[in-house]
Amino acid sequence: MVSGQVYNPTAISYVPGKNVEWYLRQAGGVTHVGDKGSIFVIRANGSVVANVSSYSLFSGGGILHVRIMPGNAIIVPEKAVGSQAWKNLIATAQIASSVAITGAVAGIF
């Protein structure tokens, strides 16, 4: 399963010996809002393989070279927007919007 910010999120049949990069190509590649540096794999047993530097040193290349096993899921998260202050501002605006909509709906009844 390839999910998240790829052009064609889908379940792809397991092919022995293929790596994350191959599966991402089969799903159409990472979109412009996908965070290539934060891709991770969820193994069938629940463990997670992330793009950490120690893994890259011992595996011969980052997350893109991780071999996929049956039942694995590849997740491509969305890029974070701006700085922490910007993220906090967006979260606050979303909460304020929800409160305002709830208030407006409650005022109608």
- Domain extents in the chain: 2-78, 81-109
- For the record, the structure tokens of 75 come out as 């997740």
Say yes or no to pLDDT of 17 above 60: yes
What is the CATH code for 2-78?
3.10.560.10
Question: For strand 48-50 and strand 2-4, is the pairing parallel, antiparallel, or unpaired?
Answer: unpaired
- C-alpha–C-alpha distance, residues 65 and 81, integer Å: 27
Distance CA 22, CA 17 (A): 10
Beta bridge partners of 78: 34
> How big is the CA angle at 20 (ends 15 and 21), to the nearest 5 degrees?
105
Q: What is the pTM of this model?
A: 0.68
**Residue 34 CA neighbour count, 13 Å, CB half:** 21
Asked if residue 59 has pLDDT above 60, the reply is no
